[in-house]
Amino acid sequence: MTAQPVLIVGSIGIDDVETPFGKAERVLGGSAVYASAAASLLAPVRLVGVAGEDLPKDAFGFLERRGVDLQGLQVVKGGKTFRWSGKYHFDLNARDTLLTELNTLGTFEPRLPASYRDTRFVFLGNLQPRVQEQVLHGLSGRPTLTVMDTMNLWIETARQDLGRVLEGVDVLVINDSEARMLTGTHNLVRAASAIRLLGPANVVIKKGEHGALLFTAQGTFSAPALPLEDVFDPTGAGDAFAGGFIGSLAREGKTDMEAMRRAVIAGSAAASFCVEQFSVQGLRDRTPRDLEQRIQRFRDLARWS
């Protein structure tokens, strides 16, 4: 079985990040970058995104070397790349956003290269719902699986647009606090049920260090997170999770419950790499074999007989 290609759209950013372990300035970030770094360990990736001319020349070199197709990367002449700056607190669950400059991301009109249009596995990473919708509309025919992420900003400011995108996707991958915000429901089982009524038949709720829950018509799956002594930088972990998730499904070319269970574990493994270093460093030098070994650690962690 040959792995299916995955189309990934999302933000591309230049981040400043401060955690209790240190600082990283002007490092590569963005949902499309983290998701592609993870998914490309499992399947061919077709990236869609926008950047300015202020990115380092070789910023995407590590993705190109993994065969990521960058035809869908739009570089705006004289433009500036999306900037984000955040500071994490001691417990690493809460963070303050210090700066958000949309720059070229604010006027992004995604154009799908002709060779992308037949992609069957699609991940709409976290960015404006309007842009996510345009990507869906640019596809020829109905994909096998569409997965989307979103964030508090769009829940608060673009609820209608978000609602339309939700109606058209198969899986929402979202973190616990955003699931609560989206549904006005504290209990995650009830929140997942409420989200499934909004469109996506399947919901993955990411709980950070507490793992992830998958809710489908076939039942519920609970995946652990790898207990780590040090989490250096949580930035991008959710995007890496989503990339690993859809990458695993695309590699198998399957979307049934059993495949989704494996995909949640692949996503969790990718996220565990992500948080071990600043920026995309934790994913940059990893190989498919590293990911396989990390998945084996999850097996040891969660098994009982």
120 part of the interface to its own copies, by CB under 8 A? no
Q: Could you tell me the smallest distance in angstroms from the CB atom of residue 253 to its own copies?
A: 17
Q: Interhelix angle for 237-252 vs 257-274, to 10°?
A: 140
**In whole angstroms, what is the distance from residue 73 CA to residue 153 CA?**
24
Beta bridge partners of 233: none
Handedness of CA 90, 94, 98, 99 (dihedral sign): positive
- Binding residue (CB under 8 A) for its own copies from 230, 256, 285, 292: 230
Cβ atoms of 249 and 44 within 8 Å: the answer is no
Q: Is 228 a residue that touches its own copies (CB under 8 A)?
A: yes
What residue ranges in 108-175 does DSSP mark as E strands? Answer: 121-124, 145-148, 171-175
Sites for its own copies among residues 203-222 (CB under 8 A) = 207, 209-211, 213, 219-222
Task: Tell me which of 130, 190, 196, 284 binds its own copies, using CB under 8 A.
Answer: 190
Count of residues engaged in binding its own copies, rule: CB under 8 A: 35
- Pick from 57, 91, 141, 197: which binds its own copies (CB under 8 A)? 91
Residue from 224, 276, 284, 290 in contact with its own copies (CB under 8 A): 224
Using DSSP, state whether 176 is helix, strand or coil.
helix
* 160 scored as a contact of its own copies (CB under 8 A): no
Structure tokens at 81: 């790349």
Grouping H, G, I as helix, E, B as strand and the rest as coil, residue 230 is coil
Please answer whether residues 95 and 177 qualify as being in contact, where contact means their C-beta atoms are separated by less than 8 angstroms. no
Scan residues 71-90 and list those touching its own copies (CB under 8 A).
90
Contact pattern for its own copies over residues 237 through 266, marking x by CB under 8 A: ---------------------x--xx-xx-
Residues near its own copies, by CB under 8 A = 90-91, 186-190, 207, 209-211, 213, 219-225, 227-231, 258, 261-262, 264-265, 300-305
